[in-house]
Every structure is written in structure tokens, then in C-alpha cells.
Structure 1
Amino acid sequence: MADTHPPAGLGARRLALAVVEETLRVRRALDDVLAARAPAAALDARDLGLSRAIAVTGLRRLGTIRRALAERLEKPMRDPRVEALLVVGAAQILFLDVPDHAAVGTAVDLAREDPRLARAGGLVNAVLRRIAREREAILAEADADPFRDTPDWLAARWTAAYGEARAAAIARANRGEAALDLTVKADPEGWAERLGARLLPTGTLRIAARTPVPELPGYDEGAWWVQDAAAALPARLLAPRPGERIADLCAAPGGKTAQLATAGASVLAVDRSDKRLARLSENLARLGLAAETRAVDALALDEAELFDAVLLDAPCSSTGTLRRHPDVAWTKTAEDIVRLADLQQRLIDKAARLTKPGGRLVYCTCSLEPEEGEAQAAAFLTRHPGFVRDPLRPDEIGGAADLIDPQGDLRALPHLGLAPDAPGVDGFFAARFVRRA
């Protein structure tokens, strides 16, 4: 009787193929695609982790992989599903600790089981075997080109905004994985010792081990939450005080809300998505923190209710998060930046109307694009003479003076860090304003 058991790990590759193909085809966030498809795949935790690693790596190094494929195909690739299958196979061969025979064999198996790919089995086998043979040359060529894994339109934007050297440093940083950073409610020194973590100057803990987050000490008791070191800065810059009434606009998933609540503020967390707000509430419950939540578009919030301080983490292109979300580079366009910049303008104007005289407003985005950062801050001050910029001080961000731009705003870049020997944060912009009394 023939063996009817599928090859080991085939389910993980099948899911990775579906996620890569759909992410590129419909320009949908990888994590959203994975969350929608994972239940039907019915994989155990190990295979699910492998599937995500393959998909994320394939998109993180998509430029390198596409160049390697193009140079080894006689004709341009026109079938996106075949391309996705080759991306999944090549990602394992070039960048993951997977035996070449397993990467090639499972790719051929996936081609054979899908009527739409069946005729491509021979091509998949030949191309992936050649990539395995020529791996060192492929990687050496890619390493010499810092922009190989950055879409041309983004590379051009970053070069114009930051100069070629810094743009290249950003692109190189985006090839690496993001660190696991945690924000703790209290006793950062004690938790750093318990978790074997690096305590950054701002109080963020950086974890070296790749233990699944729910298995780390302190997770079940709600001692900390996952939050990039740069993403933790805007709430610190707001300087929340006990008893203050603070609005956190576009608040989900809730890391900044948790920071504000931990400081003793009375927080209204606003988000237009019921689903995302439910996740925020779940996170707060695990942490033993409380905040008022309101599922409403921030633009529709009642302006009769003014706040001591307002934090606006505005929806943006997220180009500062490519280390965590490499799909952003391939699913967003220049047109998205224009559209989102218009939304940000309307949201920051709304935030201004919600801020009490004498109150504070922090605007931030996880974008590298000036239209979503520096230009927004400058235009805001032109439109609102009743507000003044409150420049940031190095001591507020752990002494990292190179993260403060000449105007006094925060500009974090992926290749920089909060300490000289701890590089790597999300690309982030934040500006602080005070409403004249």
C-alpha cells in the first residue's frame, strides 16, 4: 500500500505559499492573511512558526529572490502563484536553516498537488536546485547592493529625504529581524535580570532569546507587554501625570494606552475598529490595567470633552516597521502616502480641538516619510498658531540625542538605537505641542 502521509513540514509550506501569494496579489497585510488562513491549516505551533518564518523571510528578501529567479529563468515569470512557490522555496534555501533537499522536495510536492501548478513541477525543481548550487554567489551579489530588497520607489524617497548613505543604512537594517522589546509596569531592573534582558536607557527591556512570548516569565501575571523601544517613546514624551484625563486616539493594540494607565492617568482609548478595540481590552485585562474604551472614528469624537493631554498615533504607511512587517514594502504605494497624509492632517486638527488650553498634544507615526512626520508637524503649527512646539530633550529619551532632529522632534531610524551598542528600533516620528493657555 502506498504511503498516504504527506512529507514532513508540507503543511507549513502550503500555508506559507498561500500567505505569500495572497499578500502580494491583493496587497493585504501578511499577518492579517496568516490569521485568516491559519485556522483551516490546523498546524501545530512549531509548523505554524515555520510557516510564518518562511513567509516573512520571503517578503523581507523579496528583491534578492526575484533577481535570483529572473537570472535563472529563460522567460519572465508571469504566473504569480508559480512565483510565490519559487519565493517560498528560495527563502528557505538562501536564508533559513532548512536542508536544501527539504526546501526543493516540498516545493515540488506542492506543485504536483495543485492542478494549477502541476506543469511547473519540473521548472520549480530545476530552478531551486540551481539556486542551492549558486547560493554563495547570490548572497554575495545581494550584500553588495544595500537597496536590493527595497522597492525602487521607496529607495528613491529615502535617498531624497535622508541622503544616500543613511538611506542605504536604513535599507540594510530592514534586512534584519527586529528585536523583541518589552515595556514593564514596574521594576525594570528586576525584570531585566529575571528575563535575561538588556535594560535600555529608556527603561525598555530587550530580549535576546527567541522564546515564544506567552512562555516568558511575567506574561501570565501581566508584568509587561511587547512594544518596540521607539514605539514606547511617544507616551513617555506626553509625560502623563496621575489623575490627568488623557485621550489616546487610534489606540489599538494598546501599548501606549497601557503606558498612560500605568502612570495613573484616566485614559480614554479610541479606535474605530471594534475588533482591534476588543484586542486592546484583552491586553489591558491581562495587565490588570483599566481604561475607558470607545469604538468610534476619532474624527467623530465629541469636542465638548477636552483633555489635559492627547496622544495621536496616526494611521500611516508604516514604512518604519519593515523589520517586523516586510510586506509593507510590497503592499503600500506612493499613492497610499498621499491618502494617509490627508487623513493625518484631519486627525491632528481634531486632536488640537480636543486639547485643553495649557494641555499637551503628541503626534506620532511609525513612518519614515516626511509627509507623515516633519511636514505634518510644520504644517500643523502654521494652521494652529494657538499651539507651540515643545522641543524634546535628550534626557527624555535616554540620552539618545541623535534621535532628535534640529526642530526638536523625534526621528528614530531603523539603523539607529537608544544606546550605541544596541542598534535597531522602528522608524518613528513624534512631535510634542502645547496649547497656549
Structure 2
Amino acid sequence: MAETPGLPARRGALKLLDAVLRRGETLDQAEKAALGGIKGPADRALARAIAGETLRWLTDFDALIDSATKKRLPEDAKPRGVLRLMLAQWLRLGTPPHAVIATALPLLSGGPRRLAHGVFSTLTKREVTLPEAPTLPDAVRMRWGGMAEDIAAGLTDPPEVDLCLKDASETASRAVAMGAGSIVPGHLRMPRGTPIERMPSFEEGAWWVQDFAAQLPARLLGDGGGKRVLDLCAAPGGKTMQLASQGWQVTALDISERRIKLMRDNLARTGLEAEIVNADALAYRPAKAFDALLLDAPCTATGTCRRHPDVLHRIGPRQIEEMVEVQRALIARAIDWLPEGATFNYAVCSLEREEGEEQAAWIDESFDLEPLPITADELPDGIAPTEQGWLRTHPGRLPAAGGLDGFFIARWKK
């Protein structure tokens, strides 16, 4: 008997959810095992879209499910998981209810199938709707405090695609040619869903994909003028390419051979140059002095929640504490290499104070460095530095332009 068309994508989406919520994996980590048996890129993309929207709106979907059951379903009950997928398809992806039922209920059997059918039918008859913005999990909302409401407003939809241009002087002409928007010179924003390899001038190497917030740490180092910079934890190379295009002599260090291969490929495609070092930063000893050092440190990456909503559900105090220890070891190591007059930029794509503001305060207290405040005239309209001269971005910033990732950036001079 032939399998229901569309069922493999729903089964794959359910496996992705289980990997994130039960095993704490990222969507990217889970994809190979969960979607390996699915034929065709369209069905794999659909599975990712269903799982992504389920995680983005999970708290609201659970509230709807609980409103239609006499007894609350356990968190890990399979009918709850299937109902979450059903609501994501209906309320977020616009799938007609009859198609949702036909492709989701085969994932269950017996009583659980009847239960899921009954709950979904009740909710469709009520014509339920979602709030204007996703409701954050309680633990996340408490951690993000006063930023939480604004951040949630920026999570409603997956983000568009940001590009960083090799030559900022070409911004206006390439924006017209590619039908793109732009926040500042050197940046383009493309509608999501456009295959990267099919975008104009991809093979030419005129640009690379990089969220606008992720472009700011290197932008804040300014023009290199032939000076030396060490880009720590550099792969897959977005900041390395930025720095090279800004006139720096770049040494790019990373511990991952796989990610370094991606960096080599990106450098080759764009025609930009950098010295690449495959090493553990905690064991590395630079043979020369650098005029600047950029540490975009490993972190919980909660600032990427627009495109990776799994971080809303798998990051907690333990993961944050582990990352803080790694960051402090790297910070101490990097500062030890700074010669007199050198600049140190610290950045993380995290929304957690422990990884951002508290790390900057620790650096101020623990090392003989002079703060180098970030100023408003270095930033686009709509983004301002903090009182301390640090920079905090989050998905609720620049709403008219489509938002940006969450980043923390601070800098000092030796």
C-alpha cells in the first residue's frame, strides 16, 4: 500500500522535535538522522519548516492544546507532539485542515489518533488564532527580562537573508541588480527562500551570507590599512573575509578542520586572502604581534533564535555556565597576546547577560585594559551603544528593516 503523500515530511518533523526537546540537539545536528530517509529537497525543507515553526510558537500551541483537553497531556506524549505539528501547519504554514489531518493522523494509531483528531477538530471549529508575537517560555522570558517583549516581537517570522559585500562601493548597484534592501553600505538583505547558489554574482564571489548583526564586530574594527589582526574562532570565515576586505592582514584561527574547509572554500570563491591556522586557541602561541584581535567567542547562540528557534527550548543555566567558562579561558588567553596599543574586540551571538555584559564587566575588573567605547556615529540609525559604550542588539531592533540577530560587542585597548 502506497504511503500517504507528504507523510514522510511530517514524520521527519516529528523526529526533529523529539531530538530537540528530548535530547537537546540542535535542528542542524538532528537533520541527518531525522530526515535521511526523505527523498527530495522540497520534502526535507517542508519538514524543517514545520519543525521550526512548531518550536517558534511552541508555548502558544501548547496553550491551545491544553484548552481543548479535559486532562493535560504529558509533555512527551506523542499525541501532543503530533498536535503541535498540526497546529504549525494550519496556523503558520496555511495548510488546509483536511490536508493537515490526512498527513498527520497516520503518525498515530488507536486512541491517540482519535484524541488528536478530536482536539484538532475542536480548535478548528473555534477558529482559534495565535497572538501577534510568539510567547516565550517562562524560563527564557525571566532570563531576558526587560528585553523579552521586544525580542519576542522580532521572532514572529524566520529572517530574511543578509549578505556582506566584498566591495561596499557596489552596494547601490548590486541592490538594484539583485532586488535587495540595504541597512548600511556593504550590506544587502534578500527575501528568504531564495536559493543562495542561484543569487546573482554568487560564483563571482562578490558577497557572502552573514547576518547583519554578525557583521558588526568586524565593522567596529574599521579600516585595517595593512595592519595585522588575529581572528579567533574564525570559521566559517564571514568575519575573516570582512577584515580582509577592510584592508587588514588577517590570521584566522579555528580548531575545527571541517569548518576551516568551509573557510578555505569561501576565501577561494571571493578571492580574498588570509593566513589560516588550524589550532586550539588555548594551546596556540602566535609567532608575531597583532595590532588587533577579534574574539567572536563560542556561546549558547541564543541570539540566533530567529532562524534557530530550537535555542528557546534547549538552552538553560547549565549550558550558559559552561560557555562562560570557555569564554573566560579564551579571553584571558587572547589578552595575554596583546601588545601595547593593540585593540581587543569581544563578541558573542548570545542574549544572555552572563555571556555579554557580565563578561565585559569581568574584563574591566580583571585586566589592565582601557575601554574603547563604541559610539553612535559608528552604528546605523536605530541601534545605539549602552551607557558603558558596549553594543547590545536583539531581534526586536530595526523592525522596519526586518530585525537582526542578538549580539553583544565590547572593545578595549591595551
Check the 8 A contact 1:322/1:329 in 2, yes or no. yes
Match of 1:271 in 2: 254
Match of 2:379 in 1: 397
Question: Structure 2: where are the runs of 5+ without partners?
Answer: none
Check the 8 A contact 1:23/1:29 in 2, yes or no. yes
User: Could you say if the C-alpha distance between residues 340 and 68 of structure 1 is closer, same or farther in structure 2, counting changes exceeding 3 Å?
Assistant: same
Question: Structure 1: where are the runs of 5+ without partners?
Answer: 113-117
Deviation of the 1:231 alpha carbon: 0.9
User: Superposition pairs for residues 199-348 of structure 1, below 5 Å?
Assistant: 199-208=182-191, 210-348=193-331
Match of 2:140 among 148, 154, 167: 154
Write the distance in 1 (CA, Å) between the matches of 2:278 and 2:394.
32
What CA deviation, in whole Å up to 9, does each residue of 1:267-294 have, x standing for no partner?
A: 2222222222222222222222232222
Deviation of the 1:42 alpha carbon: 3.6
Q: CA RMSD in A?
A: 2.0
Write the distance in 2 (CA, Å) between the matches of 1:283 and 1:5.
43
User: Could you say if the C-alpha distance between residues 303 and 211 of structure 1 is closer, same or farther in structure 2, counting changes exceeding 3 Å?
Assistant: closer
User: Could you say if the C-alpha distance between residues 335 and 107 of structure 1 is closer, same or farther in structure 2, counting changes exceeding 3 Å?
Assistant: same
Match of 1:71 in 2: 67
Match of 2:157 in 1: 176
Write the distance in 2 (CA, Å) between the matches of 1:182 and 1:20.
30
**Secondary structure at the counterpart of residue 354 of structure 2:** helix
User: Superposition pairs for residues 20-99 of structure 1, below 5 Å?
Assistant: 20-38=17-35, 40-78=36-74, 79-99=76-96
Match of 1:363 in 2: 346
Check the 8 A contact 1:104/1:129 in 2, yes or no. no
Deviation of the 1:423 alpha carbon: 4.4
Q: TM-score, normalised by structure 2?
A: 0.93
Bigger shift: 47-56 or 262-271? 262-271
User: Could you say if the C-alpha distance between residues 253 and 35 of structure 1 is closer, same or farther in structure 2, counting changes exceeding 3 Å?
Assistant: farther
Q: TM-score, normalised by structure 1?
A: 0.88
Match of 2:370 among 388, 401, 406: 388
What CA deviation, in whole Å up to 9, does each residue of 1:318-363 have, x standing for no partner?
A: 2221111110010100222122112211111111122222111110
AA partner of residue 351 (structure 1): A
Match of 1:122 in 2: 114
Match of 2:390 in 1: 409
Check the 8 A contact 1:94/1:132 in 2, yes or no. no
AA partner of residue 47 (structure 2): S
What CA deviation, in whole Å up to 9, does each residue of 1:142-174 have, x standing for no partner?
A: 34xx6x631211211222xxx3xx421212222
AA partner of residue 378 (structure 2): E
Deviation of the 1:119 alpha carbon: 4.8
Match of 1:115 in 2: none
Number of residue-to-residue matches in the alignment: 411
Check the 8 A contact 1:149/1:175 in 2, yes or no. no
Check the 8 A contact 1:107/1:124 in 2, yes or no. no
User: Could you say if the C-alpha distance between residues 282 and 36 of structure 1 is closer, same or farther in structure 2, counting changes exceeding 3 Å?
Assistant: farther
Check the 8 A contact 2:159/2:192 in 1, yes or no. no
User: Could you say if the C-alpha distance between residues 135 and 272 of structure 1 is closer, same or farther in structure 2, counting changes exceeding 3 Å?
Assistant: farther
